[in-house]
Amino acid sequence: MTRTPSHLFYQGRQRRPVLDQARGVYLWDVDGKRYIDGSSGAMVCNIGHSNPRVLEAMHRQMERSTFGYRLHFETEASEALAAKTAALLPEGLDRVFFVSGGSEAVESALKLARQWALATGQPERWKVVTREPSYHGSTLGALAVTGYDALTDPFAPMMRMMPRVPAPRAYLDGLDPSDPATGRHYAEMLRARIEAEGPDSVLAFIVEPVGGASTGALVPPAGYMEAVAEICREYGILLILDEVMTGAGRTGAFCAAEHWGVVPDIMVLSKGFAAGYVPLGAMAAQGEIVEAVLDAGGFLHGYTYAGNPLACAAGLAVVEEIERQGLVANAAARGGSLLARLRGLMARFPVIGDVRGMGLLTAMEFVADRESLAPLPAHLNAFSRFVEMAYARGLIVYSRRSRGGYAGDHVLVAPPLIATEAQLDEIEGLLEATLEEFSAALAPETV
């Protein structure tokens, strides 16, 4: 098909069909082809597409005002969403700063943390320890705390790269993730890094409680989250939880921190928080951190669109839908079923070397060899080939490199939290057919 040249550009030259409409877990292109959204876009559309209550709430807000600059007006929408967010997050995270996406939320967290250190007489604290692999966003600040060399290498001279510790990939290290000794083993790496950096120079530790695109839904081993929280407390280091992907019910709790009873100093949300209806993210912080910064002269940070009333009205309606439909519980129940289905596929397809996840954030990692877990040859680009094969069948899934950006392949399966068992049947059937085609295509290339 000949296409009119586009003035748009994003990552590359690939063209995609033109979207016509989207409803629930399905999308249709202008030629009428239907796609099932097996990854909620980029793990965004938690409540599904075109929810009428959210559209109605947006409409009501649009008729009142679509913009009110936050230095000129407070808005009922942003006040209501801040109050709702504070009520849903772990204890004490009761001050909320709105932004327009995940990277902005991470930037905001880094800058609030730094200003807290200055405000409390600790100017030597500036290092933010991160994990490798990890992904915290595409702006230069968020990228400096991202452990994914393929994305960071080109920009390294322009950034102050931050110290890294290994993500707790027990499956690759041959360790038992259910053994608390495994959790302690990886948490002690954080302690060692803090000691090596000089404890007084470390400001914060940023972590995705369940890994996102960079690790492929990595679930922390037993005891890990509690242990890293304890180490941060011991050294007076702030714990920043990046719940951009895991928040808003995705893992079967409103935020993943609840699974371990961990209370961070700062948490960031986006993606499912507004479920794709508008660009929105949030940074929530413990009250005393915010008060210290405000007492010291104010938070030197802001975005023009921060706290936009239309975005906040949509976000509030999304969160209300998550509650009204019981989507957190559905994510937990359907997540268990999805994981079991992926394990069933793993039993049939040797190319799957690991299946993991929590709630409706799940992944399968491809390998060349089950025993050694050696990755497939990188030049095969297995991660993107699988996505294209699934897409041709009308299944949307999301994939990335698993081993730090240059090697390894995983596919995230993360449908909207409204998904039913029948829709999981459909996703499983399409995954199975795709895996058959994928395994057959790879076989001659991997001998």
Binding site for ligand PLP (CB under 6 A): 42, 101-103, 106, 135-138, 208, 212-213, 242, 244-245, 270
* Nearer CB in complex with ligand PLP: 65/138: 138
User: Would you say 213 or 427 has its CB closer to ligand PLP?
Assistant: 213
- Please report how close the Cβ of residue 181 comes to ligand PLP at its closest, in angstroms: 27
Smaller CB separation from ligand PLP, 133 or 252:
133
Task: Find the shortest distance in angstroms from Cβ 382 to ligand PLP.
Answer: 21
Rama region for 223: left / alpha / beta (φ>0; ψ in -120 to 50; rest): left
Q: Which is nearer to ligand PLP, 81 or 351 (CB)?
A: 81
Q: Which residue is nearest to ligand PLP (CB)?
A: 102
Q: How far is the CB of 425 from ligand PLP (least distance, A)?
A: 28
User: Closest separation between CB of residue 159 and ligand PLP, Å?
Assistant: 16
Of residues 61 and 270, the one with the C-beta less far from ligand PLP: 270
CB 282, min distance to ligand PLP, A? 12
Cβ closest to ligand PLP, residue 264 vs residue 438 = 264
The count of other CB atoms within 10 Å of the CB of residue 300 is: 11
Task: Establish how many alpha carbons lie within 13 A of residue 212's alpha carbon, considering only the half-sphere containing its beta carbon.
Answer: 25
Q: How far is the CB of 383 from ligand PLP (least distance, A)?
A: 15
Q: Which is nearer to ligand PLP, 51 or 134 (CB)?
A: 134
> What's at 30, amino acid-wise?
V
- Smallest distance, Å, CB 68 to ligand PLP? 23
Least distance in angstroms from the C-beta of 204 to ligand PLP: 15
If the CB atoms of residues 106 and 187 are measured against ligand PLP, the closer one turns out to be 106
